[in-house]
Chain A
Amino acid sequence: MEAPPVTVMPVTGGTINMMEYLLQGSVLDQSLDSLLHRLRGLCDNMEPESFADHELVYLLKGQQGNPFILRARRSLAHPTAPWHLRYLGQPEVGDKSRHALVRNCVDVAASHSLPDFLNEMGFRMDHEFVAKGHIFRKGALKMVVSKLSRVLVPGNTDNTEPLSLSYLVELSVLAPAGQDTVSEDMRSFAEQLKPLVHLEKIDPKRLM
């Protein structure tokens, strides 16, 4: 089968040229409550919302270079909500003094036929997982505390197994490129969570 003519190029320009600023950390299950308590105090006064999402990671293997990765995500708690398709670029190397990881990001809301569509396009599902947790917001800052679980039987989200004994904590902001003030805000927010969780700039490539 011939490989589909897809250019494996980062998407740039226009209104979709948004950057995700990201800080990550983790917290053990037993200290989750105190972290949530702290977040409730720090974040905008809305009721903390819990979520349960199912994420599928699709790969499109081109002829050369790295495969093209797309992440499709749907809400288990809100089955009628649209799917979310996300492209995440490579982390920007560059300014070491920047406090957060910065990467290109394209968000698209999609209909429920997204998996079929991706399959038709030639994407293949690489792995899937279920994320359950809580989401907070403080202005533009998004704080997601989630437990990642492995899906034991492909496609069956009821049958899952936790990946670890800890929760993933992510602090992210979507902003146009070049807005480094955002990372300052993120750092000061992360400072306020300091004893409970250490949010750091983690390069996924280094972990691989």
Chain B
Amino acid sequence: MSGGPAVRVSIESSCERQVQEVSLDGVETYVPPLSMSQNLAKLAQRIDFGHGSDSDEEDPSRESRESDWSKQEPEEDGKFQVSLRKLIHYKIYSSSGPMKFQPCLWPWDSVRNHLRSALTEMCVLHDVLSVVKEKKYMALDPVSQDPSVAKTPQVFQLISKKKSLATAAQLLLKGAEKLSKSVTESQEQRRQRDFNAELLHLRSQWKLRKVGDKILGDLSYRSAGSLFTHHGTFEVIKNTDIDLDKKIPDDYCPLNVQIPSDLEGSAYIKVSIQKQAPDIGDLGTVNLLRRQPKARPGTVLIHFLISAQNVLLCKEIFAQLSREAVQIKSHIPHIVVKNQIISQPFPGLQLSISLCHSTVEKKNQRTSPDKAKPDDHLYVLEHNLHQLIREFHKQTLSSSVMPHPASAPFGPKRLRLAGPMAYDKAEISCLQHGEGLLEKIVKQAKHIFLRSRTARTIDCLASRIEDPQIQAHWSNINDVYESSVKVLITSQGYEQICKSIQLQLNIGVEQIRVVHRDGRVITLSHQEQELQDFLLSQMSQHQVHAVQQLAKVMGWHVLSFSNHVGLGAVESIGNASAITVASPNGEYAVSVRNGPESGCKVLVQFPRCQTKDLPKSDVLQDGKWSHLRGPYKEVHWSRMEGRNFVYKMELLMAALTPCP
């Protein structure tokens, strides 16, 4: 068989299902096979319970037998025979049972048989037990066994079993203990490793050192040259407040840092310039705890430290500023109240520098009444303050220069220089003295204020006065103390010919230097009015200059020109300027007087011959005298056509020029 190919024989059950229906196309529908329960039900249907073949016949006997049994127990008298009889009877009954009916018609036959045999066994057992219980006829004695052989091993077995169980249990317990220990250890090790790795990471960015059993870090800027007395030390602690059994949270950090409580939260320096001074009572209450508290320390350790360092730096800046504010003697003393320093750069102006330090706890109790206030931060100055303190740090670092020659002791350079160079006190103090932080920042504030006000003044004038026009070109490259703007005054449409007024305004700290195109320098103070007046007078001069330029283009002759006329009404701002031009053939003359305040006045002089109403003079009889100049007449300038002064002037000149 193994040699030959295996023949696959498929056995198919023949279709024994009944055909239920044959459809017209010849498809046969079968009756589905019965399931187990259906089969059972079908079989059960066949039983005729009413015609229980033997039960009917045997019922009375069974009844009597059962009653017998029930009676047997209380009677308990010599029923042994009865039981035996029954036993025999059962045997006969059971043997004769199957013969009474057709086995094929009796599907529960086997069940019945088993039940019956079970009943027989039970009955026998009952009988035996009852006989034994009586003890009249029979007694059950245990089979005698050697106690030494039988009993000792049992006890011994028990003990040995107990012992071996105990050792097994011990082993298991030991193993479990070891296992749990190793799990704990590995967890601990991992955490230790994490701790070390984190520590290494922290060390790459912060100065850490071990003091005793503590790890201390340094937040201060001392190594960068800071002289601030705050120690700025933070302590690195191992984060152990975690339950080992619980799952380690994702943001768990094995390191934790403890920073001094006064460095918690976030801080910044606020610099602002206000117009009017508030009450002294109001001072020092600036509470701008606007910033949101930082994320939890565990999650962003580095950020936490950075913000703490920032707090430290802000405190240092503020401490330095307040120290200087107290020390510096100025005309208007600087005021230091709580967390605010107030200085007056210009009269009526107030520079306030405040330290805003918000801690997380404070945030809750804070109400925010100042939120609606406009943001008057001077971010540039805030930034510059940070820059200045760093410069200051650098200065302290570099002040301890290496001595030359090398054998000389360490020490400030000025001490070494002072003796041999025979410096006097002034020279030494000049070497020593550097401008303080506050002085610098006040100067910067002054400059910023002056610059913005200049810009405002120019813009204001430019929008108010349309003729002539003002153009301002601001320079992009500025110093913290100086910036410049170029101001051009032109007339619309005549930009090419009217370029006389070009001003360079150098805005400094206290004053504005104006450089004219021709090199004249005028120094203006910080007062807004001065600049405005100056520009107004320049604009009025521009008009006269424009007439001069126009006359050149039109072929007219300039008879006289004066920037500052000494005659006429006195102007409140500057001086009036005037020009007189004559037409190409000399018949007409136009005289213009322009004052910053009085405005322009244009007069035309007619030739004598054209004036009819002149009284005849006895002296000027001759015809040649008719070429003499005649009287002036004022032009109603506002009624002239033209969009601006120069255009009107051009029209006037054109009208007075005779056609060729």
Contact = CB atoms under 8 A, between A and B. Distances in A.
Given A55-B407, A86-B407, A107-B408, A49 B402 contact: yes
B397 A81 contact: no
B178 to A, nearest CB: 46
Given A49-B402, A135-B402, A109 B417 contact: yes
Interface stretch (A71-79, A147-155, A189-197): A71-79
Contacts of B397: 46
A35 to B, nearest CB: 16
Interface in B415-431: 415-417, 419-422
Interface string A58-90: 000000000000010111011001111010000
A51 B404 contact: yes
A82 B420 contact: yes
Interface stretch (A5-13, A93-101, A138-146, A177-185): A138-146
Contacts of A131: 406
A86 B416 CA distance: 13
Given A46-B397, A51-B402, A137-B402, A82 B421 contact: yes
B410 A53 contact: no
Interface string A93-126: 0000000000000011111100000000000000
A82 B418 CA distance: 10
A77 B403 CA distance: 12
A78 B402 CA distance: 12
A82 B416 contact: yes
Contacts of B422: 111
A23 interface: no
Interface string B391-405: 000000100101111
Given A45-B223, A46-B397, A109-B416, A53 B406 contact: yes
Contacts of A27: none
A75 B410 contact: no
A171 interface: no
Contacts of B402: 46, 49, 51, 135, 137
Q: Chain B, interface size: which category?
A: 10 to 19
A77 B416 contact: no
A75 B404 contact: yes
A109 B420 contact: yes
B427 to A, nearest CB: 14
B409 interface: yes
A142 B397 CA distance: 16
A135 B406 contact: yes
B410 A146 contact: no
Interface residues of A, number: 33
A143 to B, nearest CB: 10
B428 to A, nearest CB: 14
A81 B410 contact: no
A81 B417 CA distance: 8
Given A111-B421, A140-B410, A84 B223 contact: no
A148 to B, nearest CB: 12
B406 A82 contact: no
A42 B406 CA distance: 19
B405 A73 contact: yes
Given A74-B405, A75-B405, A81-B405, A142 B417 contact: no
Contacts of A186: none
A53 B405 contact: yes
Contact of A81 (B404, B409, B419): B404
A30 to B, nearest CB: 23
A86 B407 CA distance: 8
A84 B410 contact: no
Contacts of B419: 82, 108-110
A5 to B, nearest CB: 25
Given A46-B397, A140-B410, A84 B405 contact: yes
Nearest to A81: B404
A83 B416 CA distance: 9
Given A45-B223, A46-B397, A111 B406 contact: no
A83, A108, A109, A131 — most chain B CB neighbours (10 Å): A109
Please list the 4 inter-chain residue pairs (A to B) with the smallest Cβ-Cβ separation, ordered nearest first: A82-B420, A75-B404, A111-B420, A53-B405
Given A81-B404, A133-B406, A140-B410, 10 more contacts: A53-B404, A53-B407, A54-B405, A81-B405, A82-B417, A107-B407, A107-B408, A108-B419, A110-B420, A137-B400
15 contacts: A45-B223, A46-B402, A73-B406, A82-B420, A84-B403, A107-B407, A108-B419, A109-B416, A109-B417, A109-B420, A112-B420, A133-B406, A142-B410, A146-B406, A174-B409
